[in-house]
């Protein structure tokens, strides 16, 4: 949904996936058709971010397609609720989560963040733009980082996303003013898992959100679209909770 929303705003996309060729390629085709861009290339890259080799592959492949991106949205994350993930031990799940959500995010953001900063510094010096245009990096955190939640999965996810949130704040100060760095922290968003939620979970969501309902992927994508736009040029080093307000 983030990809579709940014394409509608005019962004040229490089989409990343792990093994989901049957998902990513049809998505790219759908985005082209929806936006009248049948002849425009939307690049796709496949890499396993749980391993350093995969992280390197992604950075190299993206660099070959676009030397320096204007926008970097780090949305990759391990699905802790999948059957395959649940079959692993706590330590195995956490190790993979840490590699995908934290290590990969840090390495990719630092790699491209440095290139973005250098590029926009040069543009500012050459064009003397006032105010200067900046690059944007957006991380995905979790609103539970601030509030906590019981359970093994929440402990893992809170630790990983807390690290991402802390990384974003330090990176924002390192890359300013040429690159803005923000987080979105979704709450109860109705993904595929949410479609099969029990009545008890539905009640729980209603109690925790002041909106008294699940959020949607569209609502998260809309926030990201705003954060990466010029309208948000004075916003930096912040985490935006997309949760309807915590009850």
Boundaries of domain holding 81:
70-242
DSSP 237: S
Q: How far apart are CA 20 and CA 76, in angstroms?
A: 13
Which residue from 225, 23, 16 is spatially nearest to 138, judged by alpha carbons?
A: 225
User: What tens digit of pLDDT does each residue of 20-73 get?
Assistant: 677 888 888 888 887 666 656 688 999 999 999 999 999 999 999 998 999 999
Residue 131 lies in a domain: yes
Provide the CATH number for the domain around residue 125.
Answer: 3.40.50.720
Q: Does 224 reside within a domain?
A: yes
> Residues 76-88: pLDDT tens digits?
888 777 777 778 8
Is residue 27 one of the residues assigned to a domain? no
**What percent of the chain has pLDDT above 90?**
58
In whole angstroms, give the CA distance from residue 166 to residue 44.
29
Query: What does the mean pLDDT of the chain come to?
Result: 89
Predicted model pTM = 0.91
Q: What pLDDT, on the 0 to 100 scale, is given for residue 22? A: 77
Q: How far is CA 171 from the centre of its chain?
A: 15
H helices of the chain, where? Answer: 2-8, 21-34, 52-65, 83-86, 90-97, 104-127, 144-147, 152-175, 192-195, 199-208, 217-227
Mind spelling out the 3-state secondary structure of 60-128? HHHHHHCCCCCEEEECCCCCCCCHHHHCCCHHHHHHHHHHHHHHHHHHHHHHHHHHHHHHHHHHHHHHC
List of residues 6+ apart from 79 with CB closer than 8 A: 85
Q: How many domains does the chain have?
A: 1
Active site annotation includes 234: no
Q: Is the pLDDT of residue 247 over 90?
A: no
Task: Tell me whether residue 24 is in a domain.
Answer: no
Q: What is the model's pLDDT at position 127?
A: 67
- Contact between residue 225 and residue 200 where contact means Cβ atoms under 8 Å apart: no
pLDDT interval class at 122 (50, 70, 90): confident
- Kindly report the backbone phi and psi dihedral angles of residue 51, in degrees, each rounded to the nearest multiple of 5, phi listed first: -130, 145
**74 within 8 A of 140, measured Cβ to Cβ:** yes
Please determine, for residue 129, whether its predicted confidence score (pLDDT) is greater than 60: no
Query: Which is the catalytic residue, given 112, 139, 157, 188?
Result: 157
113-139: string of b/e by CB count within 10 Å (b at 16+)?
bebbbebbeebbeeeeeeeeebbbbbb
Domain annotation covers residue 16: no
- Residue 133 carries which DSSP code? P
Choice between 191 and 226, residue whose per-residue pLDDT is larger: 226
Q: What residues does 136 pair with on adjacent strands?
A: 71, 180
Q: Is residue 1 part of a domain?
A: no
Residue 128 lies in a domain: yes
61 inside domain: no
pLDDT tens digits, 153-189: 899 999 999 999 999 999 999 999 999 999 999 998 9
Whole-angstrom distance, CA of residue 136 vs CA of residue 233: 9
| 238-242 vs 179-186, strand pairing mode | parallel
């Amino acid at each position: 949904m983030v990809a579709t929303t940014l394409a509608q705003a005019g962004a040229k996309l490089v989409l990343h996936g792990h093994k989901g060729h049957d998902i990513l390629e049809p998505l790219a085709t759908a985005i082209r058709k929806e936006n009248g861009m049948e002849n425009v290339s939307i690049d796709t890259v496949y890499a396993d971010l749980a391993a350093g080799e995969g992280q390197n592959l992604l950075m190299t492949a993206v660099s070959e397609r676009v030397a320096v991106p204007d926008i970097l949205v780090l949305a990759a994350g391990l699905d802790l609720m999948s059957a395959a993930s649940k079959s692993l031990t706590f330590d195995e799940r956490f190790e993979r989560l840490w590699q995908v959500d934290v290590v990969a995010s840090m390495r990719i953001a630092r790699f491209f963040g440095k290139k973005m900063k250098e590029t926009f510094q040069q543009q500012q010096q050459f064009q003397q733009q006032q105010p200067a245009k900046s690059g944007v990096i957006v991380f995905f955190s979790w609103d539970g980082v601030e509030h906590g939640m019981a359970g093994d999965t929440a402990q893992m996810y809170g630790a990983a996303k807390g690290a991402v949130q802390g990384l974003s704040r330090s990176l924002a100060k390192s890359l300013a003013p040429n690159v803005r760095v923000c987080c979105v922290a979704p709450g109860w968003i109705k993904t595929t898992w949410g479609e099969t939620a029990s009545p008890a979970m539905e009640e729980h969501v209603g109690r925790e959100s002041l909106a008294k309902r699940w959020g949607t992927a569209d609502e998260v994508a809309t926030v990201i679209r705003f954060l990466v736009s010029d309208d948000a040029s004075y916003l930096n080093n912040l985490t935006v909770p997309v949760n309807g307000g915590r009850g």
